[in-house]
Each structure stands twice: as C-alpha cells, then as structure tokens.
Structure 1
Amino acid sequence: MPSTLSPRTDPAAAPPVVPAAEDTVAFADPPTLGRRPALAADRDATPTLARRVRALLGRVLRSSIVLVLFLALWEVAPRVGLVDAVFLPPLSRVLDAFGTLASSGELALHLGASLSRAGTGFAIAVLAAIPLGVAIGWYERVSDVLSPFLELFRNTAALALLPVFILILGIGETSKIALVVYACTFPVLLTTISAVRSVDPLLVKSARSLGLSSLRLFQKVVLPAAVPTVFTGVRMAGASSILVLIAAEMVGAKAGLGYLITYTQFNFQIEKMYAGIIAIALVGVSVNGVLLALERHFSRWRTASS
C-alpha cells in the first residue's frame, strides 16, 4: 500500500540533516566555556598548601609574640644594666645551665621524683573526687550530710596544712603525696558537683521517659554532659599538683624540682636556680597540654553534634 505521508512528514523520505561546521563549534564550545569558570572558582575556594602553611605560621607568630618579647627582654636587660646580672643572669647563661643539668642527668633525677609524687597524688585525687562529686551532685541526702564538711575545708589552703601533714605522716614521701591529694581533690570535686547539677533537666526527663535505668542514665546523659566542666577542674588540679608539690619539696626533700631550686639558691648557683624554674614551667605547660588533649578526646561528641 503506498505511503500517504508527504515527503515533508515522511521520515524515510526526508533527507538527513548534516550540521554545519559552524553549528558543531557552536554546540561544542558552550559546555566547555561553561565549565571553566566553575573549575577556577573551585580552585580559588580550595586553600592551597602554601596558604595553609602561611595561616599556620601566622597563628603561631600571633600567639608567641609576647613570649618572644619577654625572652628577648630577659636576655637584653641584664646585659645593658637594667637589672643586676648577678641576681638575674641573661637567658643564654640560664639555658647553658639548663643544658648542663640535663646532660649530667641531675635534672632527670629531680624531674622524675617530682613527677612521680605529683602523678600519684593527682591520680588518687581524680579517682576519688569524681565519683564523690557525682554522688553529692545527684543525691540530695548525700549533699546535706557532706556539704558542711566540704565548706569547712575548701577554704583552707593546702600549704597551711603542710606542717600538720609532716607532723602526722612524717617528712617522707607519704606527707608530700597526701598534700597533693588534698590540693587536687577540691577543684575536681567542686567542678564535678557543679557539672552534675547543671545538666539540662529536659534531657534527664527525656531519658527516663525512654525507660533508661539509673546506670544508663549516668552513662548516656549525665556524664557526657558533665565532661567539659569536670575537665576544667581536672586541669586546675593538674596545675595545683605541681605548685603545691614544689612548695612541699622546698621544706623537706632530698630530690625534686623544689629541692633543686632551694639547694641552688642556698649555694648561690643562680643560673641553675632559674633553670629549675624553667623546668617547672615546661612541666606545667606539658601537663596542661596532655589534659587538654584528653578533654578534646572525651568531648568529641560535642563537635560531632554541632
């Protein structure tokens, strides 16, 4: 049967349309031209390695400029006569004495003695204060019983009780560790109590409505919410453990950074005395850095949730 379609409408009869060269260029070029600005914008939005390095160096310089100026002033002031170089030697001489103590092994001996005492007392205080703080902050009856005792001793300085610890426990290691425990307990205890009491009541009600037991409630709601505040007290306790121990070692000890400072002062070895002070500062910064890293590790859920 002959086809009824006209040549204009019949696909078989219609001649194939061949695009011209100009049409090919017109269809090929616009997508390519359209992609180029997007790729350039992506390259501009993505920071290069050089930019990251410059940003990091900028942050380091901004955070250390005051420290560098202080160290430069320490080096220059004794040399130009602003202070007596006998009582405040230039920083270079102090660093030489620091290197001498480190190379001879004397600094490692005193540092190990101080860290063992401070670490033992700090660990005992944290392990005892956090459960006690949770109990006081969560149970009202426990708080009513222990609050008067806490209010009495929280305002008593640890160093004021140093003679008492020495009289009762002797002049050996026990009294120094006990003093560190006393000094570290209250910062951790008080911040733990505050952290538990400041947990959002709506979170607690929601967890209880889901049928969580008391143990799971502490594990999933109370403790994660209290971790940042608790670690604030832990960091304060870490600083207190070093400071109180150094003072205790100055009174009665045969090794330790506090003993090193007192011994070098009495023998007028001023450079070594300042070297011991620098060692104490480095220990304090290191301890705070470790505790800050632990706080970030246990508080990762806050970053994930935000």
Structure 2
Amino acid sequence: MSKDLVVPEKLGLKARSIDLGGYIQGFAQIFEGLKNWSIGIPLVLVFFALWELLPRLGLVDALILPTFSDTIKVLYDLIVSGKLLLHVLVSLQRTIAGFALSVLVGVPLGLLMGHYRQFEKISDILVQSLRNTSTFALMPIFLLVLGLGESSKIAIIFYGALWQILMNTISGVKSVDPIYIKAARSMGLSEKDLFIKVILPASFPSIVIGARLGAKIALMVVIAAEMIGAKSGLGFFIQNAQYNFLIPEMYAGILTMSILGLIINYLLVWLERKATYWKGDLSGSIH
C-alpha cells in the first residue's frame, strides 16, 4: 500500500527557493571590500609615517611641512575650541544650498532633455558650451554680478555641481527600456504619471551617480570660492592661516577638508549602491 507524500503545497505552504547566487555575490562584495581596505589602510599609514619622518629627520623644512603629530595636535585644539567647527559648518551650509539648487534644476531639466529629444537638440549647444566653461574661470563674473555675499558663493557652487547631475540624469533617462514606456502608455498613463512612476524610478541610479560626482565638485568649488572675498568658511580658514604663516593650522584645515570630502563621498557611494540594488529588484519584479 503506497502512501502519499506530504508536500508543502498540500499543507498550504509555499516553497521558497534560496537565492544562493545572491548570497555568494554578497559575500564576494564583502571580501572585495575587505581586500581593498587591507591594501588602502597600510598605504594611508605609510603616507602619514612619511609626513611625520620627513620634517623630523630634516629632509623637509619643518616650517613648510610640520610633522603629522604637530598637525594633529593643532587640529585637536581647533576642534576643542570650536574655532574650526564654525568654519566647517559655514562651508557645509553653502555647499548644501548650492548642491540642493543644482539637484532641483538639474534633475527636472535632465528628465525633460532625456525624454524629449527635440528639446535636447534645441538646448544642446547652449548646455555643451556652458558645461565646458570652467567654473573657476567664471568666478570673477559671479563676484562682479552678485557681489561678495553669500549669493555669489552659492551660485558658483550651483554652477559647478549642476552639469554632472544634468548629464547623468539625461543618460539615465535615455537608458530606460522603451518597453516600459510603451507598456505604461498602453495602460493609459499620463505624461506626468509616466515621469513619476516609470522614467524617474528607472533613471534614479544614474541620478544618484550624478549627485555623488556633483557633491564632490561642490565641495571643491566652495573651498575655492571661500578663498576669494569670504570672511568665514574652510577655504577662508586655510588661506588666512597661510597669509599669517600659521602653517600647522593651514595643514589642519586641509586635513579637515580631506576628511570631510571622504565622509561625504562614502555616504553617497553607499546611497548609490542602495539605488543600484533597488533597480535590480525592480527589473526582476517587472520581468
């Protein structure tokens, strides 16, 4: 007498397949990350060791390059006193304001240019001309027109960060699978819903990449802008220290700028990976 096998479906349970490939890929990414860190950290330590030894051994004039330990001591004192923090906050405020404006303008404009090819053709000459003009070369014009106040600095940051965001958004829109757009239109979606529900989500990873590159440029531009006609900010702090021959403070400011840029970059890289992973999930669910 044969017995029926009890399978999960008969018990009202749904069998779930284990995505071993996903787990293997995840472990591979972790291993690759650890490998990169294991190489990168020793290189950084070697750099700091050379920074310490060169002036200490007299190979470099300590007045021009103070030791790493002296720079760290000065940096610690500046942080404890709150003097450096004030300049960092001012720079961050300017960077965020200019960067936010570049996102608010660059993303919608990129969506329109990427989707409406005729609009892109009309505006392409102007866009290409402006984006290939150096931000630093235009600084005198911004200062002449807007003055030495906050508006000129924010405008310079906006201009510098805009183009990476705009061009990556256009690229992201153009890479959207036409099948998705045709399917959305066949379902009766309006142009507004098409942008919100199909084009924007599908191009989001490219937008995040553009935002990361734009943020890096914004941070570089704000330092340069603050060195011209500013009375606060990290760029002003670095240049003021150089003018007054406060060399350890100058290097402390430069080190702070590097650390700040590194933190912002890794935060945006993390967001970029999340956005790319989400896009993969979306593609899988559609197919």
Q: Give the TM-score of the pair, scaled to structure 2.
A: 0.82
SS of 2:231's equivalent in the other structure is coil
- In the alignment, structure 2 segments of 5+ residues that lack a partner are 1-29
Deviations 1:169-223 (A, max 9, x none): 1111111011011111111011111111122223323433444443333333322
Match of 1:196 among 170, 173, 176: 173
1:224 aligns with 2:201: yes
Q: 2: distance between equivalents of 1:192 and 1:296?
A: 17
| Residue of structure 2 in register with 1:81 after alignment | 58
Deviations 1:244-281 (A, max 9, x none): 11111111111111111111101111110000001111
Q: 2: distance between equivalents of 1:164 and 1:254?
A: 20
| Residue of structure 1 in register with 2:150 after alignment | 173
SS of 1:251's equivalent in the other structure is coil
The structural deviation recorded for 1:57 is: 6.8
What's the % identity of the aligned pairs? 42
SS of 1:82's equivalent in the other structure is coil
| Residue of structure 2 in register with 1:285 after alignment | 262
Deviations 1:25-63 (A, max 9, x none): xxxxxxxxxxxxxxxxxxxxxxxxxxxx99987664333
Q: In structure 2, do the counterparts of structure 1 residues 216 and 160 end up closer, same or farther at CA, with 3 Å as the change threshold?
A: same
Find the structure with the greater CA-based Rg: 1
Matches within 5 A, 1:69-148: 69-148=46-125
Q: In structure 2, do the counterparts of structure 1 residues 56 and 238 end up closer, same or farther at CA, with 3 Å as the change threshold?
A: closer
The structural deviation recorded for 1:162 is: 0.7
Match of 1:233 among 207, 210, 215: 210
CA contact (8 A) 1:183 1:240 kept: yes
Q: 1: distance between equivalents of 2:174 and 2:51?
A: 47
Q: In structure 2, do the counterparts of structure 1 residues 56 and 259 end up closer, same or farther at CA, with 3 Å as the change threshold?
A: closer
Amino acid at match of 1:258: G
Matches within 5 A, 1:20-59: none
Match of 2:233 among 250, 256, 275: 256
Q: In structure 2, do the counterparts of structure 1 residues 264 and 133 end up closer, same or farther at CA, with 3 Å as the change threshold?
A: same
The structural deviation recorded for 1:103 is: 1.0
Amino acid at match of 2:82: G
Q: 2: distance between equivalents of 1:108 and 1:232?
A: 29
Deviations 1:144-186 (A, max 9, x none): 3211210111110111111111111111111101101111111
Q: 1: distance between equivalents of 2:213 and 2:34?
A: 30
Greater mean deviation of Cα atoms: 53-62 or 227-236: 53-62
Number of residue equivalences: 255
| Residue of structure 2 in register with 1:15 after alignment | none
Amino acid at match of 1:75: E
Q: 1: distance between equivalents of 2:117 and 2:147?
A: 38
Greater mean deviation of Cα atoms: 54-63 or 68-77: 54-63
1:163 aligns with 2:140: yes
Q: 2: distance between equivalents of 1:125 and 1:72?
A: 40
Q: In structure 2, do the counterparts of structure 1 residues 57 and 198 end up closer, same or farther at CA, with 3 Å as the change threshold?
A: closer
Amino acid at match of 2:39: R
Q: 1: distance between equivalents of 2:32 and 2:106?
A: 41
Q: 2: distance between equivalents of 1:216 and 1:296?
A: 26
| Residue of structure 2 in register with 1:274 after alignment | 251
Amino acid at match of 1:74: W
